[in-house]
Structure 1
Amino acid sequence: MYRFLLTRQWVILTLVVLALVPTMIELGFWQLHRHQHRVALNQVIADSLAADPVPVESLTAPGAEVKDADLYRRVTGAGRFDPAREVVVRRRTNADDKVGFHVLTPFVLRDGKVLLVNRGWVPAGPTQTAFPEVPAPPRGEITVTGRLMRDQTTAESGIKDLQDMPDRQVMLISSEQQQERLGRQVLGGYVELTSPLPKGAGPEPIPAPDHDAIGNHLAYAIQWWLFSAGVPVGWVILVRREVRDRAAAGRADDGNGEGGDGEPARTESARV
């Protein structure tokens, strides 16, 4: 009755089912891990934003990578802005999804090391290649406070780090690249400025991250697991339907080959 399962068509279908089930289960766990990562990151962000500011050099150093636990941690530093060495970061949007630049200004600490400070967003000029109008930062020695961030990479941001950019423009914030450009020791990572903010015209401050949203990863995980359960159920339904159809076809063939009294029907040539 089930010999049809050995036909080429059914062997291929069965192999596809056997491949789909573990793949869908794995995709479900992948989405679950993304959900768990997001929940953990949200907790890190919430804890970091609630913590008291600490000196920036207690969490990072030249050539260092910002740790996950220190992301968005509020840090402080005393020194002077160096607007002459300022660059802008291309293809950045503000809260209204307008495309412009982020302003990246070196902040020279008292010990001579440089802290990269993202002062906020400014609109683009007539063209993306022209350097925008950027309000000057505060003069003299001040203390800045900001959220500590990790160096940007193409893998995490999805933004390609293009070369041969217009003068004083970059695609990604990289302390390593800025250290080479400035010729000074640059602390790993950068900060998003939260204080002092401009009282008048100035770069638009970068808003604090949303640490309440968790996305749809958990729902996607459940969907994949439901699909993985539905595929073998569908295969069983198809097999039973095929058995039923073959049985019905067999009964029809038997009926066409027998007379009304159950005896084999005679052909015309046999009667002659």
Structure 2
Amino acid sequence: MYRFLLTRQWVILTLLGLALIPTMIELGFWQFHKHEHRVEQNALISRNLDAQPVPVTDLTSAGHTVPRSDYWRTVTATGTFDTEHEVVVRRRTSDDDRIGVHVLTPLDLKDGGTVLVNRGWVPAAPNQTSFPDVPPAPRGEVTVTGRLKADETTGSSGIKDLAGLPERQVMLINSEQQSQLLSRKVLGGYIEQTEPVPSGDLPEQIARPDDSSIGPHMAYAVQWWLFVAAVPVGWIILVRREKRDREEAAAENATADAPEQPEPASA
């Protein structure tokens, strides 16, 4: 009755279904773990943004790698901006997805040391080799408040660190690179400035990170697991349909092959 399952076509179809099941289960768990990571990150962002501000030197130092547990912590730093060594970070987008640059200005701390401050976004110069028009940083001693971020690397950001860029232009915000350029020690990581707020429209400050959206990952996980259930159900439906079609074909052949009954002789 089910000998057709041993045919080449059905063996391949069955093996394909058996291979798809564990693959789709794994894809479902992959999306589920991404969902868990997003939920955990949202909790970390909320917790760190709501924490009381602390001096930046309490959380980082020269050569220090900012741990993930300290990402987005609100920190303060008091010092003087070194605008002479200000650089711009290429290929950065504004909140409305315009391409421009981030303004990265060293802040020489009152108590010694230097920390990098991302003052925000400005449009790029029409000529990519030129330095854009950047509003000046506040003069004199200033207290900066912002979110602590880790140094960017190609591995962590996906941004390729290009060589041969025009003067005072970089691809990554990286304290080690800037320390070499400045020839002095720079605190690990950088500050994403939130205060003081610029007097004009520029630089546009970096928006608060999203800590409410969980994304579509859980829905994708459920979708993959529903596909897992659909494979055996679909296989059974196909088997039953094949069995029915074969039985109907066999019945039709039997009817066609049956000998015709002779007509009775007339009186």
Give the TM-score taking structure 2 as reference length: 0.91
> What is the CA deviation profile of residues 93-152 of structure 1, one whole-angstrom value per residue up to 9, with x for unaligned ones?
112221111001111223432211000111112123321011111122222111011222
**Deviation at residue 88 of structure 1 after TM alignment:** 0.4
Aligned partner of 2:48 in structure 1 is 48
Aligned to 2:192: 192
Matching of residue 22 in structure 1 with residue 42 in structure 2: no
Q: For residue 201 of structure 1, report the CA deviation from its aligned partner.
A: 5.6
Identity of matched residues, %: 62
User: By how many angstroms is 1:15 displaced?
Assistant: 1.6
Q: State the partner residue of 1:114.
A: 114
In structure 1, how many angstroms separate the alpha carbons of the residues matched to 2:75 and 2:7? 68
Residue in 2 that maps onto 1:76:
76
Distance in 1 between the 2:154 and 2:248 partners? 61
TM-aligned CA deviation for residue 8 of structure 1: 2.0
RMSD between aligned alpha carbons?
Answer: 1.7
CA distance in 2: counterparts of 1:219 and 1:82, whole angstroms: 48
State how far apart, in whole Å, the 1-side matches of 2:41 and 2:12 are: 43
The amino acid that maps onto 2:35 is H
- Larger mean CA deviation between 159-168 and 211-220 belongs to 159-168
CA distance in 1, matches of 2:108, 2:246: 83
Unpaired runs of 5+ residues, structure 1, are 262-272
Cα distance in 1 for residues equivalent to 2:159 and 2:11? 45
Per the alignment, residue 270 of structure 1 pairs with none
The code of the aligned residue for 2:145 comes to T
Q: C-alpha separation between the residues in 1 aligned to 2:180 and 2:17?
A: 54
- The answer for the alignment partner of 1:265 in structure 2 is none
Aligned partner of 1:8 in structure 2 is: 8
Shift of 1:190: 1.0
Give runs of aligned pairs for residues 63-212 of structure 1, distance below 5 A: 63-200=63-200, 202-212=202-212
In the alignment, the residues of structure 1 paired with residue 58 and residue 76 of structure 2 have an alpha-carbon distance, to the nearest angstrom, of: 10
**In structure 2, what is the equivalent of residue 238 of structure 1?**
238
Mapped partners of 2:112, 2:142: distance in 1: 14
Q: Which amino acid aligns with 1:221?
A: A
Q: TM-score, normalised by structure 1?
A: 0.90
Aligned partner of residue 188 in structure 1, secondary structure: strand
Report if the CA contact (8 A) 1:135-1:201 is conserved: no
CA–CA separation in structure 2 for the residues paired with 1:177 and 1:238: 62
Report the CA distance between 1:195 and its aligned residue: 1.4
- Kindly provide the CA deviation profile for residues 71-112 of structure 1, in whole angstroms up to 9, marking residues without a partner as x: 111011122211111110111111222111100111122343
Structure 2 CA distance for aligned equivalents of residues 104 and 74 of structure 1: 18
Amino acid at match of 1:171: M
Q: 1:3 to 1:61 in 2, by over 3 A?
A: farther
Unaligned runs of 5+ in 2: 262-267
